[in-house]
A and B are shown apart, each in its own frame.
Chain A
Amino acid sequence: MAQSRSQDQTDHLGRQRWRTVDIVVASVLGVTFGLLFAVWNNLIYTTVSGPLDGTPTGPLVAGVWLLPAVVGGLVIRKAGAALYTEVVAATLSIFFGSVWGLSVFMSGVWQGLGAELVFALLLYRRWGLGAAVLAGGGAGVAMGVYEIIVSVPQYSADWKLVYVLCAIATGLVVAGVLGHLLVRALARTGVLASFASGRTQSEI
């Protein structure tokens, strides 16, 4: 009995220990999204989302920043994957010319923690659409709260609420739904064969 319990524990630990492929693929996902951020910074940010930056609806176009947390968590399915992927993506975008410097790193940490907390509350056992949407929402809450401290500290309380709600909406839809669809599409191509996320969704 005791032996079987310790067997269970080692199994559980074994499932949670990061293999090399977990680390490298999470990093590669982070780097690829970081490159997407770089494109966003250099093209879309300066034309679309930069001018929206100070308005309460600014966060609506910011959901793309939250994607790595959701996608990383869903693909790797390990404790810390959402946080790690988001932080790698944020760090790469700093090195590739984000003008926000280490503030982007802080954003990455908070947004990653927002998604990570949701996966943790689901005990790292739920990886479907519901979990993805909630994780996206969690990242959205984190982004909204951090941004009202950094970007719009002078807003009136009502407008701050609008700002956070916009951030949550984009987290639920862009990061959550889009992230879920993205991981499902990735699984269909077969590249996720080394991961549980790539094996459960095989289609005929």
Chain B
Amino acid sequence: MWRTLDKDLARDIALVCLADAVVGVSFGAITVSSGLPLWLPMLLSLVVFAGAAQFMFVGLVASGGNPIAAVIAGLLVNARHVPFGFAVGDLFGSSWAKRIVGSHLMIDETVAFALAQRDAERRRAAYWVCGVGLFVCWNIGVVLGAFGGTVVSDTDVFGLDAAFPAVLLALVLPSLKDRATRRAALAGVAIALATAPFLPAGLPVLLALAGVLVSGVGRSGDAAEPEKEAAA
């Protein structure tokens, strides 16, 4: 599997892993410095392994929020993994062990790296290398941050908050050459941005899926979906 991965792709994945590790350091440091126990960021990173939901959970709990509300908020942020799972679920093979491990490694970057590859072989390689790499780097970063304290508490100083959307954008861009995909994505972005000021985190991105209705993918061949062109 590792041989399928060319040098360029390996380097790209390594860069994202490195950036992720730095964010992990900040997650560990922020969690501990906000008065939560040392083991919490490490346990969250192993068990949940989803950066945005982890930050959300810790932020709510640290500010005295109800832990049930924090769990629900985290789950809402993570609900996007359901459609992700349908898109990349065929990459894990038929063994249960691989399906379980592959599912746990599913995050935005692994999905984006996989979908950006040409053929099934490369998709599989990119998914696994990126998933394992990110899991290891993220957790190492979190441990360093939890013990090392506030060396890197604000990753915005390095512009890492701009790097992550740029990573996903670069990986998604080639898919947007397809007209139907582009229409769906643009409509989805518009829906998400229009609803984000009013809705809890996670929901606007899910609503963006309605953008797929305008893409026309569902009605090539037979008339499955009624025309929803006006929404675009």
Are chains A and B native binding partners rather than an unrelated pairing? no
Q: Which residues of A contact B (CB under 8 A)?
A: none
Q: Which residues of B contact A (CB under 8 A)?
A: none
